[in-house]
Amino acid sequence: MSESKKTVLNHLFDAVVAGDVQKARKLAERAVKEGVSANVVLERMMEAMRSVDAKYMRKEYFVVDVAAASTAMREAFKVLEPHLGVKPANMVGRVIIGSLKGNIQGLGKDIVAATLRAAGFQVVDLGVNVSPENFVEAAEREQAQIIAVSVSVEETVPFLKDVVDILNQKKLSGKVKTVIGGRAVSEKTCKQYGIDAYALDAWDCVKKVRDLLTH
């Protein structure tokens, strides 16, 4: 990668961390124009958000700073979305996605939803702070095969049990598969709550959804 491309990516990283919305958008446009892969640009922005997270954990950043960085990334992401290199899905699949009850940060979920759409899936985004009942009701209403749940707050993880229980009550388990992601969950969480799959990031979620639809 040329020095000028690296410089654009580094400036973009800084703009996201600083929460500079206009600058982040302009730099994303410049990166795409200079021929940097949209996937590479997105990876650099994810690194920026991890840096923001670390600052928040060290109490160097407050909620308002995290919100500003999230907004900057979201705006830059809008530029990248049409260019994301995801192979189209060869199957029709409908996915219900949302951030679980008690989770009000939707950035990771937004990226996953956009990537699933780019891969050709039909995605119904329920937004943030979604109750287990709403996930299952939406899956029934939309005749979806997959429920994708984003969980970034550890205290809310036990609500996953309710999602699984309601699917069982309605005799939908097996027909509607579940996939989870977010920093509060892991492979271990799947086993603990009877979830079908765990996705590490947006691209992994596309892969896991494909796998769930074919098995």
Residue 208's pLDDT band, with cuts at 50, 70 and 90, is: very high
Of 56, 83, 110, the residue that ends a domain is 83
More reliable by pLDDT, 85 or 125: 125
Q: Could you tell me the pTM of the whole model?
A: 0.70
Q: Give yes or no: residues 108 and 192 share one domain.
A: yes
* Residue 185 located in a structural domain: yes
Q: Is residue 169 part of a domain?
A: yes
Confidence at residue 117, expressed as pLDDT on a 0 to 100 scale? 83
Look at residue 88 and tell me if it is in a domain: no
Domain CATH number, residue 143 = 3.40.50.280
Give residue for tokens 């799959």.
197
Residue 104: the pLDDT is: 85
Domain that holds residue 59: 3-83
